[in-house]
Homo-oligomer: A and B are copies of this chain.
Amino acid sequence: MAAREPVMTAAELTGYLAEVFPQTDPGLRIDAVAPMRATLSHPITERHLRPGGTVSGPTMFALADVGFYVAILAMVGREPLTVTTNLSINFLRKPSLEPLSCEARLLKLGRTLVVGDVTLFSGDAPEPVAHASATYARSRG
């Protein structure tokens, strides 16, 4: 697995997401892909907030989920039917209003299941704001 390289670039993945998920957060940016990894970010706007100026839980859940999906697509190519079966997220610290970013990592890329984790950061702070474990089921038509 160490030898496997991504089969889609960040630009190709950006185009594919826009096509199959037109409702994706318009500010979402795929910053980098690497073997078994992907880095994404988006600015925080009014729609991501809870009262009190906190980034909402569903906003962090959604970024972790799409980040993990992008890391899978980068390795396996277009698989629209691949779906989340479990996402377990630990909220660690209150994010600031700076851009939210995530680093997704695949720990197992199986034929049926893909398992890994996603670490979320806020702005340039070195300590993560959330950490999620994710399992996706591949369904190749």
Contacts and interface: CB of A to CB of B under 8 A. Distances in A.
A57 B92 contact: no
A83 B88 contact: no
A19 to B, nearest CB: 9
A108 B93 contact: yes
Interface stretch (A5-13, A27-35, A71-79, A111-119): A111-119
Interface in A1-27: 1-2, 20-23
Contacts of A107: 90, 92, 119, 127-128, 131
A49 B85 CA distance: 17
A57 to B, nearest CB: 5
B115 A112 contact: no
A1 B87 CA distance: 25
Contact of A131 (B49, B113, B115): B115
Nearest to A21: B51
Interface string A117-141: 1010000001110010101010000
Contact of A113 (B22, B85, B87): B85
A84 interface: yes
